[in-house]
Chains A and B, each alone.
Chain A
Amino acid sequence: MAEAGAVAALEGVEVDYPGRGRALGPIDFSLAAGEIVALVGPSGCGKSTALRLLAGLEPPTRGQVRRAAGRGETAVVFQSPTLAPWLSAAANVALPLELAGVGGGEARTRAAEALRRVGLAGAEQARPAQLSGGMAMRASLARALVTSPKVLLLDEPFAALDEITRRQLADDVLALWAAERPAIVFVTHNVEEAVYMAGRVVVMTPGPGRIAGELPVEGPAPRPPGFRTTEAFRHTAEQLSELLRSGMEAGR
C-alpha cells in the first residue's frame, strides 16, 4: 500500500492489453519523494508499462494510480533520445516550457542553463543529427530536467549507449539528482546499473510482471569513485541476480 508522502503510487494495479492478455500486475508500488528506485526485470515484464502508468500516459485496467505531481512536474526520458530533428538542441529542451506557456525568451534562457548542467554548453544551436548518441541522451535529460520535475522517470535511457558513456551518464544523473532531488524511477535490465543508480531495487517477474522482491542498496549517493569494486556493491549485485533468477523461476 502507498505510504503517506508518496509522490506516486500504484495500488493493486493490473494492465491488460487487448489480444495480448495480462501485461502487468497485480502490483503495488510506492515512490517516496527524493528516492531513486530501479525497476529490474526481463524484457516484456511490463517495466515500461509501469513507467507509463506512473507518468499518467496510460490508465490501468484495474486498481489505482496515485500521482501527487501536477502537470509538468513529471518528466520522462525514453530509451531513444526522442528529440525533434527539425529543432536545435536548445529549442528541443525549451519545448516543455513553451508547451506550458513560458515565454520564448525565458524558455530559451532556462533551456541553455539546463544544457549547461548536463555538460552541453555551446551545443545550443546544434541539431540532434549533429550530436553523438551520448550527447543526444544528455539533451534529452536536459529537456526532462528543465521543468524541475518532482518525478523523473527513466526508461532504459542508457540501453543504446556504449559502456564508457553509460557509466559517465550514470554519474551525471546522480549528480543532477543531488542538486534538486527529484524522485527517480529507473527502468533497466542491467543488474549492476540498477545497484549503482538506485537506493532501492525492485525486481519484477516475467510477464505478466509482478514484484518478485526488493532490495535496499546501502552507500552514499552520488556514488564515490571505486564504488563498483566495493564488497557491498558486489554483494548486493549478487543478491539481486539471485532474486532475479528466483523471480524468473516463479514466473514460469
Chain B
Amino acid sequence: MRRALLIAAPIVFVAIILAAWELACRALAVPAYFLPTPSAIVLALVDNAPLLFVSAWRTLSSALMAFAITGVLASLAALGAASARVAEASFRPIAILLQVTPIIALAPLFQIWAGIDHPDHAVVALACVAAFFPMYSGALAGLGAVDPELERLFDLYGATGWQRLSRLKLPSAVPQALEGFKVGLGLALVGAVIGEMEASGGGQEGLAWRILEASHRMEIARSFAAVAALALMAGVLHAAFQALERRLIRWWRGR
C-alpha cells in the first residue's frame, strides 16, 4: 500500500502541475509564442518525432563518444596519479581548473580550434572536458580505497607491484569509479549540448540545434518539445547507467 503510494505520488504531482499549467494558459489566454500549453508541446513532440529522434541520436552519440574517450583518459590519469604522488600533485591544479571553469566559457575557443570543417570535434571535445573531473576523481578515490588490512596481507606475501595493481587496487576501485563515471556520463551530455549550441548548426544538428532553431522562429512549442526530448533522453541514460551500476556492484559485492 505504502509502496503503491510512493510510486503514484510523483506521477500525480506531475499531472497536477501539467493540469494547472494547461488551465492557466487557457484561462489567461497566454500567447503560444510566449508559453505554449502542455498539450501543444505534446502535439509538437509527436509531429516532430522523426526529426527529434535523429537529432537526439546525434547528441547522444557525441556524448557517448566523449564518455568512452574520457573513460580511457581519466582512468589512465588516475592510475598515474595513484602510483606516484608527484603525478597526482602535477595533475591536481589542471583537474581542478577543468572542474571549476564553466564549460560554456571554453566553447568558443574549442569552436575555433576545431575549425569550420570539424565542428563535431569541438562538440565531442567539450563533452570530454565536462566529463573529465568526476571520472578522474572517482577512479582516483577508488584506487585509494583499498582495505589497509588486505594491503598488509599483500605485503606479507611479498606481492609484486603488478599483482598489487591487478588483484587489489583495480578491483577495489570499482564502486567509486562507477559512481564517478555515472556523474561523468551526465556531464558529457551537458558538454555535448553546450558544444552544439556554440556550433549553431554547422552540420551539428543535435537537440541543442533544434531548440535554438525553433526559438529563433518563435516556434516555442517545438522548442519545448526538443527540451522535453533532451530531458527524456538524459533521464533514460541516467536510469540505464544506474541499472548497470547496480548490477555491477551486486556482482562485485557478491549479493
Spell out A's residues near B (CB within 8 Å).
52, 55-57, 71-72, 74-76, 78, 80, 82, 84-88, 95-96, 98-100, 126-130, 147
Which residues from chain B sit less than 8 Å from chain A, CB to CB?
A: 147, 149-150, 152-159, 163, 167-168, 171, 174, 252-255
* One of A78, A100, A126, A128 near B157 (C-beta < 8 A): A100
Do the beta carbons of B254 and A128 come within 8 Å of each other? Answer: yes
- Least CB distance, A74 to chain B, in whole angstroms: 7
- Do A130 and B254 have beta carbons less than 8 Å apart? yes
Residues of the A chain whose Cβ atoms lie less than 8 Å from the Cβ of B157 = 71-72, 95-96, 99-100, 147
Chain B contact surface mostly: helix
Q: Which residues of A contact B155 (CB under 8 A)?
A: 57
| B254/A85 in contact, CB under 8 A | yes
Q: How many Å from the CB of B47 to the closest CB on chain A?
A: 50
| A126–B254 alpha-carbon span in the complex (Å) | 8
Q: Is the CB of A82 within 8 A of B171?
A: no
A selection of 6 A-B contacts at a CB cut-off of 8 Å is A78-B149, A84-B168, A84-B171, A99-B154, A127-B255, A128-B254
Distance between Cα atoms of A72 and B157 in the complex (Å): 5
Measured between beta carbons, the chain B residues less than 8 angstroms from A98 are 167
Flag if A86 contacts B171 (CB, 8 Å). Answer: yes
Partner of A57, one of B147, B150, B156, B254: B156
Distance in Å from the Cβ of A114 to the closest Cβ of chain B?
A: 15
Closest A residue to B171 using CB positions? A86
Taking a contact as CB atoms under 8 Å apart, the answer to whether A129 and B253 are in contact is yes
Additional pairs, 5, CB under 8 Å, beyond known A128-B254, A129-B254? A52-B152, A75-B156, A76-B152, A80-B149, A130-B255
Complex Cα gap A56–B158 (Å): 11
B158 engages A86 (CB within 8 Å): no
B75 CB to nearest A CB, Å: 18
Pick the most buried of B157, B163, B171: most chain A CB atoms within 10 A of its CB. Answer: B157
- Find the A residue at minimum CB distance from B154: A99
Given known A72-B158, A84-B171, contact A127–B254 (CB-CB < 8 A): yes
Nearest chain A residue, comparing its CB with the CB of B174? A86
Cβ distance A111 to chain B, nearest Cβ, rounded Å: 14
Q: Which residue of A lies closest to B170 (CB)?
A: A86
Residue from A56, A82, A127 in contact with B253 in the complex, judged by beta carbons closer than 8 Å: A127
Contacts of B167 in A (CB 8 A): 95, 98-99
Query: Quick one: which of A76, A84, A88 contacts B156, CB cutoff 8 A?
Result: A76
| Contact residues in A for B150 (Cβ distance below 8 Å) | 82, 84
Q: A57-B152, A76-B152, A86-B171 are in contact. Are A99 and B255 (CB under 8 A)?
A: no
**How long is the Cα–Cα vector from A100 to B174 in the complex, in angstroms?**
25
B173 CB to closest chain A CB, in angstroms?
Answer: 11
Q: Write the nearest CB–CB distance from B155 to chain A, whole angstroms.
A: 6
What CA separation (Å) do A56 and B255 show in the bound complex?
35
